[in-house]
Amino acid sequence: RRRRRRGKGKGGKKKKGKKRRRRGRKGKGKGKKKGKRKGKRGGKRRRRRRKGKK
């Protein structure tokens, strides 16, 4: 139970919020495209972690 709380709650949620807010403030087309690529990479990493726990 302790391992699941550390991975999902603290690490994932805080990183998501900070990155999304920064993309919106920049507002330029180049910045948005780079931000979308970073978001996809993060999602794939989390899926791999969940499969390992199962």
**pLDDT tens digits for 1-54?**
555 555 555 555 555 555 555 555 555 555 555 555 555 555 555 566 666 665
> pLDDT at position 50, please?
65
* Domain edges within the chain: 21-54
> pLDDT at position 26, please?
54
- With vertex at residue 37, the alpha carbon angle to CA 29 and CA 21, rounded to the nearest 5 degrees, is 65
3-state secondary structure at position 33 = helix
